[in-house]
Amino acid sequence: MPDIHTALGAGPPAGTLQVTLFIPSVNRRAESIDQSWWRDQALSTLGRLFRGATAFPPGRGVWHDEATGALVYDDTVMVTSYIPAESLTDANLATLRGFLHQLGRDTNQGEIGLVIDSRYYGITTYDDPKE
């Protein structure tokens, strides 16, 4: 295989792991949330932790709220970052956890989803901010 980054005139690869989180447009009662604010907060968080991130336009999605039996439709924004595995430090994961739990709590979500290296992690119980 050729030396791709040299052939393209680029720097070395920034990372091989993909981290993707989902920013919903509604809460679990299908009421609108300030998605653009949360999208920008996610971009800032991933940018600080992992050097950069990109938000993709909304895609239509649905989530089954097992607690109520309702299907909740929303227009989800995906925020993604390519990172080196060594950037998944305890400190970075703690910061990311704080953001994800705040997103879930403050926007009344039944689940906040995060994908790291093709593995989905669903967060359904949120830390108490007082602890």
pLDDT digits (tens, 9 = 90+) for 19-75: 999 999 999 999 999 999 999 999 999 999 999 999 999 999 999 998 899 999 999
Quick: pLDDT tens for 62-116: 999 988 999 999 999 999 999 999 999 999 999 999 999 999 999 999 999 999 9
**Res 38: pLDDT:** 98
DSSP letters spanning 6-44: HHHT--S-S-SEEEEEEE-SB-TTS-B--HHHHHHHHHH
Phi, psi (rounded to 5 degrees) for 128? -75, 125
Is the CB of residue 24 less than 8 Å from the CB of residue 33? yes
Q: What is the pTM of this model?
A: 0.90
